[in-house]
């Protein structure tokens, strides 16, 4: 995390008490903690951008930049998938009031010979290490685990993990992110308290306008289950543009089109308990070689003006999903009902 300290570009009072960033900088220097400085004018203190980080229009402000990016796009909940994450980020979410879906890497396929031992150990450790964090709202037990079901049926382990969570922390629900191709009658949907599905219509398959009907099919088949959209999105690279965007071209324009299309589907379905954009930041993935770049998952959104302008455009249209009393947006970001 990069820490950013605000300071005056020039002292408005000749150094008589308003420039209060020096002590914070000294503390960071003493701790050996790297930081950045963002210079602001006295007039800028009263503008909306600064008031959003300091409601009294003063300095210094203290920002963890990665978390600030989540807040900038209006995210209210983050899915920390599919791995264990640093306690530092849980601490940041606790302080910022950002809800967290925490999960273990029981991902894509279960071990052929012994699918449970390691998964149970990791789930137990995650619970004991993190259950004191008030930001955590649910425990994820699997991600797309049926992808490897030809090798080993993962369902008994999913049921075992759900029971384990309930025995250690009955105060929070269990959750799962199912593969988009899981059928509506699959018993795995009922194995956790909160069900959710990963849909990449418009990117890996189909078209973006197929997300809504796919959600409706599952909801109609299992109306008693809380249903969420645990992943959706498209890869894009900053600087890739097209006047005729299409799936697979990695342009910012296509990514923006896909998000705007799916946001409308999400807003029209109040039965959804959550929706999560995949993914907030690029990360290493050895098996990938997409868009001319090897070893990286590029479903990121942190650098894209297209994503931010899309949220702002939706806000101007009165359809922004982060409005009070409506389902909240969170990137994996997602959304949750307040």
Is 301's pLDDT higher than 70?
A: no
Q: Domain extents for the chain?
A: 3-65, 69-336
pLDDT of residue 1: 61
158-162: long-range contacts (C-beta < 8 A, 24 or more apart)?
158/106, 158/188, 158/191, 158/192, 159/191, 160/116, 160/120, 161/104, 161/106, 161/119, 161/120, 161/123, 162/191, 162/192, 162/193
Instruction: Give the residue numbers annotated as catalytic, written as ranges.
Output: 144
pLDDT mean over 4-31: 73
Percent residues over pLDDT 90 in the chain:
54
pLDDT of residue 304: 38
pLDDT mean over 217-240: 94
pLDDT of residue 197: 98
Block residue for tokens 């299992």:
222
Give the residues across from 38 on adjacent strands.
6
pLDDT of residue 299: 63
pLDDT of residue 13: 59
Q: pLDDT by residue (tens digit) across 134-180?
A: 999 999 999 999 999 999 999 999 999 999 999 999 999 999 999 99
pLDDT mean over 300-304: 45
- Among 29-38, 159-168, 238-247, which is the least confidently predicted range? 29-38
Note the residue count of the chain: 338
Q: pLDDT by residue (tens digit) across 93-106?
A: 998 889 999 999 99
According to the 3-state scheme, what is the secondary structure of 43-68?
Answer: HHHHCHHHHCCCCCCCCCCEEEHHHH
| Residue 10: band (very low, low, confident or very high) from pLDDT cuts 50, 70, 90 | confident
Block residue for tokens 């409308």:
264
Average pLDDT value for the chain? 83
Tell me the HSE value of 80 on the side-chain side, using a 13 A CA sphere.
25
pLDDT of residue 54: 74
Is 187's pLDDT higher than 90?
A: yes
pLDDT of residue 14: 59
Choice between 74 and 18, residue whose per-residue pLDDT is larger: 74
pLDDT mean over 260-269: 96
Block residue for tokens 């359809």:
319
Q: Which residues contact 256 (CB under 8 A, 6 or more apart)?
A: 304, 306, 307, 309, 310
**Angle at 109 (CA atoms; ends 106, 114), nearest 5 degrees:** 80
pLDDT of residue 96: 84
pLDDT of residue 286: 79
Q: pLDDT by residue (tens digit) across 46-82?
A: 888 878 777 778 777 767 767 777 877 788 899 998 8
| Residue 203: band (very low, low, confident or very high) from pLDDT cuts 50, 70, 90 | very high
Taking a C-beta distance cutoff of 8 angstroms, is the pair 256, 309 a contact?
yes
pLDDT of residue 82: 83
pLDDT mean over 209-230: 97
Domains 3-65 and 69-336 share a fold: no
pLDDT of residue 326: 31
Among the listed residues 213, 219, 226, the one whose alpha carbon sits nearest the alpha carbon of residue 265: 213
pLDDT mean over 243-257: 95
Taking a C-beta distance cutoff of 8 angstroms, is the pair 207, 254 a contact?
no
Choice between 292 and 111, residue whose per-residue pLDDT is larger: 111
CATH 3.40.30.10 fits 3-65, yes or no: yes
pLDDT of residue 300: 57
CATH number of 69-336: 3.20.20.80
- Among 94-103, 237-246, 321-330, which is the least confidently predicted range? 321-330
Is the previous residue joined to 60 through a cis bond, with omega within 30 degrees of 0? yes
């Amino acid at each position: 995390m990069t820490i950013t300290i605000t300071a005056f570009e020039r002292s408005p009072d000749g150094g008589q008490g308003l420039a209060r960033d020096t002590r914070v900088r000294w503390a960071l220097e003493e701790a050996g903690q790297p930081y950045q400085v963002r210079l602001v004018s006295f007039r800028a203190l009263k503008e909306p951008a600064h008031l959003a980080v300091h409601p009294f229009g003063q300095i210094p402000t203290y920002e963890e930049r990665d978390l600030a990016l989540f807040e900038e796009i209006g995210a209210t909940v983050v899915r920390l998938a599919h791995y264990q994450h640093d306690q530092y980020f849980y601490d940041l979410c606790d302080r910022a009031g950002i809800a967290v879906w925490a999960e273990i890497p029981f991902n894509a396929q279960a071990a052929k010979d012994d699918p449970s031992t390691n998964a149970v150990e990791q789930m137990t450790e995650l619970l004991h290490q993190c259950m004191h964090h008030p930001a955590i709202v649910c425990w994820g037990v699997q991600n797309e685990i049926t992808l490897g079901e030809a090798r080993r049926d993962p369902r008994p382990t999913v049921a075992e993990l759900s029971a384990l969570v309930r025995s250690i922390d009955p105060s929070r629900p269990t959750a799962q992110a199912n593969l988009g191709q899981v059928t509506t009658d699959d018993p795995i949907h009922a194995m956790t308290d909160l069900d959710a599905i990963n849909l990449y219509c418009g990117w890996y398959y189909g078209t973006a306008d197929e997300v809504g009907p796919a959600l409706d099919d599952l909801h109609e088949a299992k109306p008693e289950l809380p249903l969420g959209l645990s992943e959706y999105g498209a890869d894009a690279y900053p600087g890739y543009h097209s006047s005729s965007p299409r799936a697979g071209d990695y342009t910012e324009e296509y990514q923006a089109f896909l998000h705007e299309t799916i946001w409308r589907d999400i807003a029209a379905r109040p039965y959804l308990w959550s929706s999560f954009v995949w993914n907030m930041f690029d990360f290493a993935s050895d098996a990938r070689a997409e868009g001319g770049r090897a070893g990286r998952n590029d479903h990121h959104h942190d650098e894209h003006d297209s994503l931010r302008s899309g949220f702002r455009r939706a806000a101007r249209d009165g359809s922004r999903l982060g409005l009070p009393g409506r389902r909240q947006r969170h990137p994996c970001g997602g959304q949750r009902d307040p």
